[in-house]
Structure 1
Amino acid sequence: MRKNVIVLLAKQFWKDAFRSRVMAIALGLMVVLLVFSTYTGYENYHEQNVTRNVIQDEVQESWESNPDKHPHRMAHYGSFALRVKHVLSVFDMGMENFVGNAVFLEAHKQNTVNFSEASMSTGLLRFGEVSLAMLLKIIVPLLIFYLGFATIARERENGTLKLLIGQGIKRKEIVFGKWLGLWSLSLLFLGSVFMVVLFFVLTEDHDVFFADSLGRYGVLLISYLLFFGVLSAITLLISAFSETAKGALVKLLGIWLLFVIIVPKSLQAVGYYLYPTPSKIEMETAVEHDLKQLGDSHNPNDPHFKAMKDSVLLAYNVSDVNDLPFNYSGFVMSQGEKLSSQVYLSHQNDLYKVYGLQNNLERFSAFINPYSAIKNLSMAFSGTDFESFLHFKDKAETYRYHLAQEMNRLQMELIPNSGQEGPNQISSDYWKKFPPFKYSFLNISQVFRNEWVSIAALLSWSILSVMGLLRLSINLKAL
């Protein structure tokens, strides 16, 4: 292949595209949408993070300002964990508006993450929001299909394709020249969006997360480069194997509807049908049932904890809990916390497995739908996917458990048993020593492990696209 001929054909594609009014309208529309999505995305990110950080500081201040009191009362006083937004959520909001933002952390209980944007907004939010990623995932693919549907089909209809071949231009040069022109034209939209995203990545304060954010940005950029390359190849192949340009356009519009709307929505319904999840009431009822089976740590006559009391007295060779070298109530609370946490985690892991099966149905569909691959990669590396939400939830639960057990430890060590002399409360300095909740995002290596299927699917589509173009360059018909 002659590179200069390929580049010349690509330049000619650009000239033909910019002669069309459609290109001018598309550029104007993209500029308007780019400005609007940038403004709304940044406002949402900045306002939400400022608000959540302020509330998190107030929560910590409220915790530390508690007076001297019994540590178990502090365990029930609890705290809050608020989920901050990743800087790349400016690019792709993903599931941000549909999952909770704050969770109350208290002893003996795992609460749900509440206060999602969707729960406090009108139903219009469920139609989706205009984001930078939405432009690249939905609008630009439609433009690629429209700008490229006549690439080969119309030239065959007009007879210019036969003329090109007759002048000594190889079929392979025609195919890859047209593909390069369409793909490079799509990069005009891609570059404008990612320049905006890079500005936010470089200017926002990340502390230790800066390198991770740059890495995520790089992966997103490469992913969209491959995605647009695949779409350009699909456009060219459909145009080449269609008898007319009008037929090619109809087919490409059908493919866009399948990729973006029909297949994803259908798989969501199929996933819930095949792997149904329990309702919130069913989940809480099952947890409560298992907790009752274990026993009540607050009830001294509970059979399970009475048996545990007898074993502890036997182990320390004493006849009364007042003779133990630690506060027995604190010990019982710590054991009750351990057992109840195991029950909650067991049910939670079962629920996560069902969610995983539902999500895997769409994740593996990326091998037949490149849109699924880019959607999952876009959300994952922007820190707005479901796995990122579960990671926050797990970190909040770990913090809750440590807080409760630390209060139980203080009770065991510093509060005397009921029959012994001593204070029934401890200094508030202990509240100040307990560290505040700090959330760290999933590191980039964990995201790679979570999304290996989507990465493999996108690479497979890229390889198939090259193979398809090579095959087309052999079988391209001039008539």
Structure 2
Amino acid sequence: MRYPIIKILSAQVWKSTIKNRSTLILIAIFNCMLLASLLSGYSHMLRQQTAVNDFSHEVRERWENNPDKHPHRMAHYGYVVFRQKFPLSFFDPGMDSYLGNAVFLEAHRQNTVNFSEASLSNGLLRFGEISAGLILQMLLPLLLFFWGFDLIARERENGTLRILLTQGISWPELVAGKALGLFRLSLCVLVPAFVAGGLLMIINEQTWQLPQAVWRFAVLGFAYAIYCFIIALLAVYVSAKSKNAKSALIKLIGIWLLFTLILPKVSQVAGQSLFPSPSKIAFDTAVEAELIKHGDSHNPNDPHYKALKDSLLTAYGVDSTHKLPFNYSGYVMREGERLSAETYGRHQAQLVGIYEKQQNAVRITALLNPFIAIKNLSMALAGTDYATYNDFQNQVEAYRYKMAQTLNELQIKHISNKVKSSADKRAIISHKYWEEFPDFTHRFPPFTRVFSNEIISVLSILLWAAGLFLLIKISSKHFKAF
């Protein structure tokens, strides 16, 4: 293909479309919508982050200001941690509004992450949030289809298509030139959105604490650019294949409905049907049933812990737990915490495995649907996908387990076996130990892991771009000028 010819055709599409007043109005409307959604999302993110920081500071102060007490009482006093917002979450909120934001941590129990925005808002949220990501993923393709449905079909109707072809322009050059011109029009919406988003990201202090956010934003912009070029190629290809502009428009609207509404919903239903997940009640019941088999650490006559006591007495050559060189109750609590954590972790891993299979059913359809690909990739880069949330849950559980076992170790080391109850003055340790225990720090997954999680989406976007080029080259032999 000859680039000068493609460049001339691209310029012709640009000039003929941009001079239309309705085009300028649509561009202005889209830019206003994007700017409003970016500012709204950014403001909401800052409010959420401020609330998280304030509550986290308050929780930490209360934890450190606890008086001297028995460490196991402190374990049941518990801790509250909050989920941080990634600096790009304002661009594409993804699943953030439907996922919990706070979790209470205590010994012997793994609580769920609660207080999602969806659970605290009205029913309108189920229709989705108007965000920059949603506008670029769903509405911008519709705009490009509106601009591109007649780029070739109309010339066929007017009879000018034969004139172009008789001047030595090949079909691949014609389609590529028209698609490039349509892509240039999409940049009138895409570039302002990313310029505004980049400025908002730069003025956010949290961005400078997470340098990977800059790299994610750059990759996000590149991905959306390829997505828009795929949509442009698809629009021009359908226009070239259609007999007239009307049939091209109908086909493109059908493709838009298939990509944005039908396939995503079908893939979700298929994933849930093929890999059904247990309800919360069924999950908790299964965990509790297995824990009962392991025994009750609070029951001194439990067979498992009685055997543990006998083995300790034999090992240390004593006839009573009071003669052990460490606190026996703390030792039992440590063992019970280990067993409960292992049991919960095993069941949680199985549950997450089911969720991943459901999501893989959706991810695979990305090879057939570029909308799914850009949606998954956008959420992952913005830090608002399920994988980021699951990583937060894993960090929370690791912190909870460390907290519980640290307090158990304090009991083992500092509490005498002669103490009859936690109310005894000899069972109380200094509050300085609460201050020494580190605060929870939420760390976001690295860029490399995010990229590897969404490798199917990346391949889908690249394959769609390459596949459309190949399809146009092969199909150009069967295109008709009239």
TM-score bracket, normalised by the shorter chain, equals over 0.9
Q: Distance in 2 between matches of 1:209 and 1:272?
A: 38
User: Structure 1 residue 241: deviation in Å?
Assistant: 0.7
Structure 1 residues 375-414: aligned runs within 5 Å = 375-414=375-414
1:373 match: 373
SS across alignment from 1:103:
strand
2:155 match: 155
Structure 1 residues 324-339: aligned runs within 5 Å = 324-339=324-339
Amino acid at match of 2:145: F
Q: Distance in 2 between matches of 1:419 and 1:366?
A: 63
Q: Which moved more, 1:24-33 or 1:292-301?
A: 24-33
2:449 match: 446
User: Structure 1 residue 161: deviation in Å?
Assistant: 1.0
2:195 match: 195
Structure 2 residue corresponding to 1:462, chosen from 437, 442, 465 = 465
Instruction: Give the direction of change, closer, same or farther, for the CA distance of 1:30–1:79 in structure 2 (3 Å limit).
Output: same
Q: Distance in 2 between matches of 1:178 and 1:419?
A: 85
Normalised to the residue count of structure 2, the TM-score between the two structures is 0.97
1:54 match: 54
Amino acid at match of 1:450: N
Amino acid at match of 2:170: K
Structure 1 residues 260-295: Cα deviation after superposition (integer angstroms, max 9, x where no partner): 011101221222122111111111111111111111
Q: What runs of 5+ residues in structure 2 fail to find an aligned partner? A: none
User: Structure 1 residue 226: deviation in Å?
Assistant: 1.3
SS across alignment from 2:172:
helix
Q: Distance in 1 between matches of 2:274 and 2:210?
A: 41
Amino acid at match of 1:85: K
Q: Distance in 2 between matches of 1:358 and 1:199?
A: 36
Q: Distance in 2 between matches of 1:462 and 1:31?
A: 26
Q: Distance in 2 between matches of 1:134 and 1:453?
A: 20
Do 2:149 and 2:236's aligned partners in 1 also have CA atoms closer than 8 Å? Answer: yes
Amino acid at match of 2:474: R
Q: Distance in 2 between matches of 1:151 and 1:74?
A: 71
User: Structure 1 residue 21: deviation in Å?
Assistant: 4.1
2:109 match: 109
Structure 1 residues 41-80: aligned runs within 5 Å = 41-80=41-80
- Alignment length, in residue pairs? 479
User: Structure 1 residue 476: deviation in Å?
Assistant: 3.3
User: Structure 1 residue 452: deviation in Å?
Assistant: 1.1
Q: Distance in 1 between matches of 2:261 and 2:210?
A: 35
Are 1:353 and 2:356 an aligned pair? no
Are 1:429 and 2:404 an aligned pair? no
Structure 1 residues 337-396: Cα deviation after superposition (integer angstroms, max 9, x where no partner): 000001111111111111011110000100111111000000000000000110111101
1:184 match: 184
Amino acid at match of 1:434: F
Do 2:148 and 2:232's aligned partners in 1 also have CA atoms closer than 8 Å? Answer: yes
Q: Distance in 1 between matches of 2:419 and 2:392?
A: 43
Do 2:86 and 2:383's aligned partners in 1 also have CA atoms closer than 8 Å? Answer: yes
Do 1:175 and 1:473's aligned partners in 2 also have CA atoms closer than 8 Å? Answer: no
Q: Distance in 2 between matches of 1:39 and 1:455?
A: 28
Q: Distance in 1 between matches of 2:452 and 2:462?
A: 15
Do 2:27 and 2:188's aligned partners in 1 also have CA atoms closer than 8 Å? Answer: no
Q: Which moved more, 1:151-160 or 1:95-104?
A: 151-160
1:223 match: 223
SS across alignment from 1:90:
coil
Q: Distance in 2 between matches of 1:258 and 1:36?
A: 28
Do 2:366 and 2:372's aligned partners in 1 also have CA atoms closer than 8 Å? Answer: yes
User: Structure 1 residue 251: deviation in Å?
Assistant: 0.4
User: Structure 1 residue 422: deviation in Å?
Assistant: 8.3
SS across alignment from 2:445:
coil
Are 1:237 and 2:242 an aligned pair? no
Do 1:172 and 1:474's aligned partners in 2 also have CA atoms closer than 8 Å? Answer: no
Do 1:94 and 1:385's aligned partners in 2 also have CA atoms closer than 8 Å? Answer: yes
Instruction: Give the direction of change, closer, same or farther, for the CA distance of 1:419–1:379 in structure 2 (3 Å limit).
Output: closer
Structure 1 residues 107-150: Cα deviation after superposition (integer angstroms, max 9, x where no partner): 00000000000000011000001101011001101011111011
User: Structure 1 residue 314: deviation in Å?
Assistant: 1.2
Q: Distance in 2 between matches of 1:48 and 1:206?
A: 13
Amino acid at match of 1:292: I
Do 1:172 and 1:473's aligned partners in 2 also have CA atoms closer than 8 Å? Answer: yes
1:418 match: 418
Q: Which moved more, 1:156-165 or 1:399-408?
A: 156-165
Q: Distance in 2 between matches of 1:53 and 1:92?
A: 22
User: Structure 1 residue 151: deviation in Å?
Assistant: 1.0
Q: Distance in 1 between matches of 2:31 and 2:180?
A: 23
Are 1:302 and 2:291 an aligned pair? no
Q: Distance in 2 between matches of 1:237 and 1:3?
A: 19
Q: Distance in 2 between matches of 1:179 and 1:50?
A: 45
Structure 1 residues 8-19: aligned runs within 5 Å = 8-19=8-19
Normalised to the residue count of structure 1, the TM-score between the two structures is 0.97
Structure 1 residues 402-435: Cα deviation after superposition (integer angstroms, max 9, x where no partner): 0000000000011111269982111100000001
Where does structure 1 differ by over 6 angstroms across 4 or more consecutive aligned residues? none
Structure 1 residues 293-325: Cα deviation after superposition (integer angstroms, max 9, x where no partner): 111101111111111111111111211111111
Q: Distance in 1 between matches of 2:287 and 2:465?
A: 47
Q: Distance in 1 between matches of 2:463 and 2:4?
A: 29
Do 1:87 and 1:204's aligned partners in 2 also have CA atoms closer than 8 Å? Answer: yes
Q: Which moved more, 1:53-62 or 1:8-17?
A: 8-17
User: Structure 1 residue 457: deviation in Å?
Assistant: 1.4
Q: Distance in 2 between matches of 1:408 and 1:452?
A: 43
Instruction: Give the direction of change, closer, same or farther, for the CA distance of 1:472–1:17 in structure 2 (3 Å limit).
Output: farther
Q: Distance in 2 between matches of 1:200 and 1:315?
A: 64
1:144 match: 144
Q: CA RMSD in A?
A: 1.5
Do 2:87 and 2:207's aligned partners in 1 also have CA atoms closer than 8 Å? Answer: no
